[in-house]
Amino acid sequence: MKMEMYVLQVRPGCEEAAAQAIANHGYRVACPSSEMLIRYGGSWHTKVKLLFTQYIFVECELTDDDYYRIKSVPGVVRFLGFGNPEPLQKHEQAYINLLRNGGKPIEASKIYITSEGDMMILSGVLRQYMDSIVSCSIRQRRAKVRVTLLGKPHTITLPGTSIEKTVCQQQYG
């Protein structure tokens, strides 16, 4: 058998504990997160948020032993699939690996808005999703991106921050 990536549904708030428990069994687990900028108390604060609440991703060959070992982890509800656990498609697995970001939260992408109102993504993970952006709010410093899991559409929120024209000219020519 070959290594595939599967999606696990977990109870709310159990994502990181379940991911750690599964990793302790020797599996490669992804629980993608980002550093979201949130405004409260009159200033911006950074808070780490999960990109997929109630879902974690595990790579394995998925033998019967693997299935029952993973399924018995506290917080795990089920493997996603149509009747049986189904692995992610190759392009879905590729962007989960991108969002995994080496186990670190994704930092805000740098966005420049032209005088005509066009958006240019200068750096960050949003550059990989330019064709999938559903909405972008510079004021709220985030962008909503459409992705698929097992062929079903999901919307995730990624951080973004605007760059002023003078900074843009200095850094990017």
Query: Which residue in the block uniquely carries the two structure tokens 């058998």?
Result: 1
pLDDT at 68: 94
- In degrees rounded to 5, what are phi and psi of residue 97? -65, -35
Counting Cβ atoms within 10 Å, is residue 14 exposed (0-12), middle (13-18) or buried (19+)? middle
Kindly list the averaged pLDDT for each block of 10 residues, start to end, along the chain of length 173: 88 95 95 91 90 94 93 94 90 91 90 78 85 85 89 90 55 47
Residues 6+ apart with CB under 8 A from 40: none
pLDDT at 38: 87
pLDDT at 169: 45
Nearest to 1 by CA among 85, 73, 82, 94: 85
- CA–CA dist 104, 100 (Å, integer): 7
Residue 170, CA atoms < 13 Å, CB-side half-sphere: 5
- Which segments of the chain does DSSP mark as H helices, in order? 15-24, 64-71, 90-100, 165-172
